[in-house]
Amino acid sequence: MTFQTLLFYFLSLVLIAATVGVITSRNPVNAALLLVLAFFTSSGLWILLEAEFLAIVLVLVYVGAVMVLFLFVVMMLDINLARLREGFWHYLPLGAVVGVTLVIEMGLLIISRGVGFGDSMTPPDLPQGYSNTRELGLLLYTEYVYPFEIASVILLVAIVAAIALVLRKRKLSKYVDPAAQIAVKRQDRVRIVTMASEKRESSDTDTPA
Amino acid sequence: MSDLFQPLVSLGYSLWDVLATVAVSLLGHERAPYALYAFKTLLLILCIVVPLMLAVAYLTLWERKVIGWMQIRIGPNRTTFFGISWLGGLAQPIADGLKLLVKEIIVPSGANKMLFVVAPIMAIMPALAAWAVVPFDPDMVLANIDASLLYIMAITSMGVYGVIVAGWASNSKYAFLGAMRSAAQIVSYEIAMGFSLVGVLMASQSLNLVDIVHAQSSRFGLFGWYWIPLFPLFLTYLIAGVAETNRAPFDVAEGESEIVAGFHVEYSGMTFAVFFLAEYANMILVSVLCALMFLGGWLSPFPETWGFLGVASFGWLLAKVFLVVSTFLWFRATFPRYRYDQIMRLGWKVFIPVTLVWIVILGAWMQTPLWVWWKA
């Protein structure tokens, strides 16, 4: 057994354990953190396949950004664990049907392509100096440039639409325009008055003895 | 220089030969190379981490001294080695480290014990792992990988977990508020930071840090570096770097005056020290990256014809990193803390548009003969 095979089994073991943990963990924060571990481990598997760009981008996008926001939301929730588990047996049949369907679909796909479970294709040996990043970049910006650009425009539209849907001008907002703040001159705020000093009206009570 | 170290180098080689013979006799010819390779990598990792930790220790002293001088104070000047008075203050980091090492680690009641202990580890892991691809010299790099810039972005983006998990696991309102602030801030500034790196990789046509530095070498010394054509991106990177490391004036995550010490308010002893180490290691990392990408790395600021001044060496990188790190300390001594909405405005409404516009300008500029930074 080579070191790479050993590494593959180790990473797979961690990945399976982490993903099982995600769905069995009682605490949503633990579940989210285990999902982070699962992403990280699967990026390790991609590195083993010499797909370093995909691996790094998986960490960058999912671990570095998406899961942070997930965790952010999960932590803010006031979670009542008892209520979360309340409907478990009620929803189990539905969930089981969906799950089994997914497994059957995936199995059919694998069988139909003539690749059994035992003998999946081994990736071809890559030439010296092969850069996954460069190859992907070339493909994305030449052959698939239109699908790529259209996908990014769709994403942009989705972002704009989401913001437009929830954007409202708050009447109570105390926002101050920084440009206006900077433009303020001393004369606008303070008026210095020059006047001669005056003597207090003499009175008996507060003159020091 | 090289003559001076020749005996040491040959001693190292002979020691390695002895080790190789021992390994071969113990493990056989099949496995010995793997074991030796693993051992060599471990040694190289130590060669990076040990000086880094020393640098972190003395950076804290330098910070306290610099801020002291800027505020017309003296700074630490008592703790010395062996009672030698003119070394006053130099033992301060060691004393601080020892103190933190022997202090009790208190886990608050109601805290999630597991995550409470894991959080500091999650903070320091990316701060150290990113150094794997940082080149100190054309040849001095642990892993010279093609996508090193991407790797650094991915690894440093994981640093935020330490802060969030610490804040949540502490079971404290202050810690939680600090963690929330920090998470929002780091996620926001990461975008601007990433865009400024896009400019660098456009100009250098490479994601490899060694190639990025090589692309900046020219006959004109410091005028060949990217800080000139990428000046807005350079500034953005520098300031976003301060924000990413949660340093003043972007240290709302700690905010002593309103939320005590933010996410690490419940941490004591070594667990606190690990957060501290992570913050300073990140600070040095951001400075090193700044030096590598915009200030020519190990290249000399003088033209090559200027004799020994024009020779590229590790010393130049060290000098540049020192300069950038000292700028960070200067920021901390000078600026008052940003208000939260000001931080968000700066990140989203100033930096992101500036970087986006400059990337477009850069793309157009590079198509014209006016672009003189080609060194393919």
> Could you give the CA distance from residue A170 to residue B30 in angstroms, rounded to a whole number?
71
Q: Which of B35, B371, B15, B363 is nearest to B195 (CA)?
A: B363
Choice between B45 and B33, residue whose per-residue pLDDT is larger: B45
> Could you give the CA distance from residue B123 to residue B158 in angstroms, rounded to a whole number?
8
Interface membership of B168 toward A (CB under 8 Å): yes
Among A63-67, B28-32, B38-42, B214-218, where is mean pLDDT lowest? B28-32
The H-assigned helical ranges of chain B are 2-70, 92-102, 113-129, 148-156, 159-169, 173-204, 209-214, 231-244, 256-259, 269-294, 314-334, 340-345, 352-366
Q: Which one of A3, A65, A69 has the shortest CB-CB distance to B157?
A: A65
Q: Which one of A29, A60, A68 has the shortest CB-CB distance to B153?
A: A60
Task: Confirm whether the ipTM is greater than 0.90.
Answer: no
CA distance A65 to chain B (A): 7
CB contacts < 8 A, A to B, total 72
Interface membership of A89 toward B (CB under 8 Å): no
At residue A2, φ and ψ (nearest 5 deg) are -75, 170
Contact (CB<8Å) B155/A59: yes
Average pLDDT over chain A, rounded to an integer:
83
Q: What is the pLDDT of residue A17?
A: 93
> Could you give the CA distance from residue B268 to residue B258 in angstroms, rounded to a whole number?
20
CA distance B187 to chain A (A): 7
Interface membership of B158 toward A (CB under 8 Å): yes
Which of the four pLDDT bands, split at 50, 70 and 90, describes residue B376?
very low
Mutate: best of A3, A30, A59, A176, partner B, most B CBs <10 A: A59
pLDDT digits (tens, 9 = 90+) for A10-63: 999 999 999 999 888 878 888 888 999 999 999 998 888 878 888 888 888 888
> Could you give the CA distance from residue B40 to residue A7 in angstroms, rounded to a whole number?
20
The H-assigned helical ranges of A67-168 are 67-76, 81-86, 88-112, 132-138, 145-166
Q: How many CA atoms lie within 13 A of B49 on its CB side?
A: 16
**Which residues of chain B lie closer than 8 angstroms to A53, CB-CB?**
147, 150
Choice between A176 and B132, residue whose per-residue pLDDT is larger: B132
CA distance A61 to chain B (A): 8
* CB-CB contact of B167 with B176 (8 Å): yes
Among A78-92, B12-26, B68-82, B145-159, where is mean pLDDT lowest? A78-92
**Mean of the pLDDT values across residues B21-43?**
81
Contact (CB<8Å) B154/A69: no
> Could you give the CA distance from residue B14 to residue B4 in angstroms, rounded to a whole number?
17
